[in-house]
Amino acid sequence: MQTQLAAISCTVRYDCKVAGMAASGHWMPPNELGVRTHSLELALREVPGLTLKLEHVKAHEGDPWNECADGLAKLLSKGELELAEPPQATGKEFMQGNLQWMATEIAAIQTGALPVVNGRLTWTDAPFEDYKLPPHELIPVTAQEQGELGEAKPFQMKGREGMSMSKNYLRLSTESQRFWGTSLWVHRTLGIMKVGGVPLIIGEEDLSILHQCPRILAILAKKNGHRLVLISAHCPHSGREAEQKTFMDKMRQILMSAKNSDLVVMGIDLNGRLPSPFPPATGHLEYGEPDACGRLMANIMVDAGLWAPSTFQGLHMGDSATYTHPCGTESRIDFIIQGGRGRVFRTRTKVNKDFDTGSPNDDHRMLEIEMEGDLMSKGGGKTLWRQKFDTDKMHTEEGKTILQKALSAFPQPSWETHPDRHCLLLQKYLHEVLKKNFPLQKDNKASYIPGEIATHRIKKTIIAAKTTMLNQVVTRGVQNVGAILQRAKAAGIGGRKSRPVQRPLPQLLDPSNGKPVQDRKDLDRTWMEYFGQQEQGVLSTVEEFLQRRPNYGGTTEEAWSHDLLPSLQDIEQTLREIPRGKTGGVDNFPSDLMNAMPVQMAKTLQPLYLKSLLSYQQPVQWRGGVLYEAFKGSGMQSRVENFRSLFISSFAGKALHKVLRKKVQSSIEDTLHPLHFGPRRHAPVLFPALYVTTHIKHCQATKSNMSLLFIDCRAAYYRLVREIATGVLTNDAAIYQLFAKFGLDSGDSLVEAKAGSRPGEAWADTLYAFIYARVLYRVHENLAAEDILFEVPWDQECGVWAQARQGSLLETWDGTWADDSAVPLRADTAPSLVKKTKRMCSIFISTLRSHGLDPNLKRNKTSLLLGLKGGHSKKIRQELFEDGKPELRLEDIGEAIHVVEGYKHLGGMVDAKASFAMEVRLRLSLASGAFESAKKLLLQNQRLPLEILAFRARMSLMVSLVKAGPPVLWAMLQEEGAWLRQVQEDLRHLVAGEEE
């Protein structure tokens, strides 16, 4: 037909929405036929001159074409009509042939993005142009211009010490001790001031505490080369003479040390009256008689180069009184004092009588100041470019249409374009699309309120809109209480009732010298050094990293086949699985950009993916990411060891890595022992948890001697010797040669990691599991050789309905999830159990250390549950713990393991008596906390149907056991019996009334 017509437009109408939406790629294909139909649709869309459109029509609604097709189908089924059939070879090719690469081949012939010659990919060892990525393109930054004062508010506050953030303000406060607390509020969007017309936004990372006590809060803000000192102070009154002197001595020390800063602004409740005039500190605007406190402060101001603008005529507007005594006397005792090296060109102060301080006593009034001047400092720093985009719009029909047209119009670079430059061109193109079409509109309304009704018919329409939003909140994304509550608060639900979390004031200590960090640069260095040490990282500038970057590359001798490479549908499926609402890596692409239009994005990314794989050279932009620190929730926030790192990398790069990981998934699982979970599909975390609890319950029921060792390693993922699994990792060829090993056919500074496997990365669990499996196999061999393990019977035929002690015997293993291992033991007598347990602990710890891992032997880290029964058990306990310490001494390695009554394992509490009392307390605590947090926003019913929830949970776990339950776990459950008896009752209930 194309030989006769230069352009063809086709419309395919369908009444089965599942089949049609799967064919067009809007939905996941439900079966193999859907996959093949979608592959054909992708290929047809790449044919030049062919326009394909798919439309849905309702069946039996009078559509002429649908009725015609229905009528023809009936006639054909009755044999009353014959139509020409497609050639048999065509149908066979459609059902059996490999169609997934047709679209890629047709597109490559037109764009030249892939070297397709006669239906084959053909390339050389060095196919690319010589190219070095510029440093500013690897880490995009925004330059700050070279002020007029924005919003920084000193307050006298009566609350708790700490820092909190609301939508508009960063708030820092000192302990009030009921009467004297001070506070500083810095606006998060207007900034502390405007520099060159641009708000100077101050974050927690830009602040350091100069001094904090109930009466003084002094902070230093360093941003873009500027040093700004903000002080909020409350001076003791004259009746506290000793305290007043101590206060003034401390103020002199602080102000003298701050005099060389670019700008000093202090708000103070002086409880005294400054002398006027007292040049250069005060002017001729007199108000009240000066006192001793005021004269003392005036002398400090002269020495420190400070002045009070509100005491100068022509600068202060209106009334000067800032305080009204209960007897009615007014006075001027509150001042804003300014200093520093910066020059002030214009300023104005006034008393704002209309400002509501929120205090029940209407005594103090707000004093305001406006300033304009020159900071007299060079300034001009750089920050990481982190623009926000309207991700909700990307999932609307309008947004999807924009993305589809933009992605279709991307000019694919030629095959000779270096992967780094190819990636850079794609990034720049997509950034322009996002900036032009998806800028985030700032407004003050909650996101569930549509814009068209934000100003009228508010109440009635908001209720409906809020209901719709809540339905989306509870149906999209991760389905746990914390995630749902977070999405609700992010949408603006809860309002003032969702109070900001109070945290300690920012005062991180540099571990190298024990001193507080001073500015953002110092903070970045501290975190990079600390987190970099965990991975044997090397701190260097971006320029140095790019200069010494080796020329990666494989060889054309490596055999590649299509099943090793990501097809369009492989990429498409991975993009669909990327969760919404996740922040981007260095490239600043939000996750929504990847999954809003997965079909078109897969077409755009595939040439770069194939280029990276075939040349063993992924773009350098995908080899790293941004590190964020996250408080662990315990310990002092001033110490770096109480933080963990969160690694955010490019979603485009992670999608490639996940596609490759899926291709080796089955081979990875083959390397794991039966009870090693984490990377294993269809195996929930309940498997190892059930293994442990079943062991304890059985031993408790049969009064058997048992022990259970829990292993916890310090920074386990980071301590791996990666080369055990991968070889040299400065060569991308070594990474992709993992396939063969797994059994297939073949800012301005950064930290380059040399060891470890970073949690959160696509390959992290895979690499760790591969290496850790070697350790566990070695441990198991040693335990089996010394006859330490025990056996359990397994009845493969009967499954849930098996009787105890029937079937073949299986040797037990450790139960492992990721890096958490638990090793069960049994013995007939207490002395035998203790002997075996000691040897088992020694073997496990020494084997871990020989592979570079470091077991944490602190209490509640690497710990032991011990259950001794029968004769000699009391005597054994006395011998083991004769010194009063609950520790099991390992004489052969010179260590000791803490013996505990309960242990928190995989999110639940395990106790040696299988009473589950600790587990009940933990779950009730978690449930109570979750309910208290969410009851005003989401939860409507305090009484949960626990029986139904438990039934659903058991059935869900049962399905997983049938799919992926290892024989050893089945054997342990059959031996214990109680859980399977409950499952039997559940199954009877499930089929009740449907026995026939």
Report the 3 state secondary structure along 805-873.
Answer: CCCEEEECCCEEECCEEEEEEEECCHHHHHHHHHHHHHHHHHHHHHCCCCECCCCCCCEEEEECCCCCH
Closest CA to 738 of 725, 728, 729, 723: 725
Q: What is the DSSP string of 943-991?
A: ---HHHHHHHHHHHHHHHHHHH--HHHHHHHHHH-HHHHHHHHHHHHHH
Using DSSP, state whether 751 is helix, strand or coil.
Answer: strand
Closest CA to 530 of 646, 648, 643: 643
For residues 232 and 185, what is the distance between their CA atoms, to the nearest angstrom?
A: 10
For residues 654 and 574, what is the distance between their CA atoms, to the nearest angstrom?
A: 10
Pairing of strands 902-905, 908-911: antiparallel
Alpha helices (H) along 438-567: 458-475, 481-490, 520-534, 542-548
**Tokens representing 832?**
């035998």
Q: What is the DSSP string of 32-48?
A: HHHHHHHHHHHHHHHST
Using DSSP, state whether 929 is helix, strand or coil.
Answer: helix
Which position has the token pair 């960090």?
517
- In this prediction, residue 791 carries a pLDDT of 92
Residues 36, 42, 43, 47, Cα dihedral to 10°: 150
Pairing of strands 226-234, 263-269: parallel
Using DSSP, state whether 209 is helix, strand or coil.
Answer: strand
- Positive or negative, the CA dihedral 863, 869, 874, 880 is negative
Which position has the token pair 């994304």?
477
Q: What is the pTM of this model?
A: 0.70
For residues 903 and 271, what is the distance between their CA atoms, to the nearest angstrom?
A: 56
Cβ–Cβ under 8 Å, residues 774 and 851: yes
CATH 3.60.10.10 segments of the chain: 147-377
Using DSSP, state whether 494 is helix, strand or coil.
Answer: coil
| Sites in the chain below the pLDDT cut of 50 | 143-150, 153, 155-159, 495-501, 723, 725-726, 728-732, 734-746, 754-756, 941-943
Closest CA to 554 of 755, 756, 753, 746: 746
Helix/strand number for the chain, H first, E second: 31, 38
For residues 148 and 920, what is the distance between their CA atoms, to the nearest angstrom?
A: 58
For residues 776 and 443, what is the distance between their CA atoms, to the nearest angstrom?
A: 55
Query: Residue 335: phi, psi to the nearest 5?
Result: -140, 150
Which position has the token pair 């020409």?
84
C-alpha angle 75-79-80 in degrees, rounded to nearest 5: 55
How is domain 147-377 classified at the architecture level of CATH? 4-Layer Sandwich (3.60)
For residues 746 and 742, what is the distance between their CA atoms, to the nearest angstrom?
A: 10
The amino acid sitting at 6 is: A
Query: Residue 507: phi, psi to the nearest 5?
Result: -150, 55
- In this prediction, residue 471 carries a pLDDT of 66
- In this prediction, residue 990 carries a pLDDT of 83
For residues 331 and 334, what is the distance between their CA atoms, to the nearest angstrom?
A: 9
